[in-house]
Amino acid sequence: MNLPFEQAVATHGETVLRVCRAVLGPGSDAAGAWSETFLAALKAWPELDENTNVEAWLVRVAHRKAIDITRQLSRRARMVSPTPPEELPECENGVEGASISNCDIWQLVAALPLRQRQAIAYHYLGGLSYREAAELIGSNADAVRRAAADGMKKLRKSYRHD
C-alpha cells in the first residue's frame, strides 16, 4: 500500500463520518469519533500491511472509537443528569425538494434497534461485507444481513410516511 495518509483521509473520510454518525448520531460525538479514528490511523499507518483493505480497516477503527465514546457517554450520564438544550440546531435539507431533512434521517437511524443500526452503518455506510460486519458486531453474516434488511425496511417505511 503506497497510498499517502492524506489521500486515505480524502478518499475514506466521508465513509468514516457516515459510520460514526450512524452509531453515535449527528453532532460533536460523531465528529469526535471521526477525529479519533484518523488520529489512531495516523499512528498505525507506517506499520499497516500493504495488502490491507484501507476502507474496511478504517471502518473497524471507527467502530472501536464509537464504542469508546458510547461508553464515555454512558459513564457521564450516570454521573450527571442531562438537561435538554433550549433550542435544537437547524437542519438542512439534503436533497432539493425532499420532505425529510438530514437531521430527520439521522434521527430515524438512531431510533433503530442497536443491531439494525450497526448492520446498516457497517454494511451500507461503511462498505463492509456482511461477514466483515458480523465480525465487528459479534454475530454471523446471515443475522447481519437480516438486521440490515429489517432496518432498511423500517427506514423506508418512515421515510415514505414523512
- Going from the C-alpha of 152 to that of each of 109, 116, 119, 130, 148, the distances in angstroms are 9, 8, 10, 14, 6
The answer, as to whether pTM is greater than 0.95, is no
Count how many residues are written for the chain.
Answer: 162
Write out pLDDT tens, residues 6-24: 999 999 999 999 889 888 8
Per-residue pLDDT band for 157 (boundaries 50, 70, 90) equals confident
Block residue for cell numbers 499517502: 4
Instruction: Check: CB of residue 58 under 8 Å from CB of residue 15.
Output: yes
User: What pLDDT is attached to residue 155?
Assistant: 85
> Coil, strand or helix: which one is 145?
helix
Place of cell 418512515: 158
pLDDT of residue 84: 53
**Whether 9 contacts 45, CB under 8 Å:** no
Kindly report the CATH number that applies to the domain delimited by 5-161. Answer: 1.20.140.160
Mean pLDDT of the residues in the chain:
81
Task: Give the pLDDT band of residue 45 (cuts 50, 70, 90).
Answer: very high
Residue 30 vs residue 92, higher pLDDT: 30
- What pLDDT digit, counting tens, does each position of 109-156 carry? 888 888 898 888 888 878 888 988 888 888 899 999 999 999 999 888
Question: Rounded CA gap, 19 and 124, in Å?
Answer: 9
CA distance 68 to 157: 31
Q: How confident is the model at residue 95 (pLDDT cuts 50, 70, 90)?
A: very low
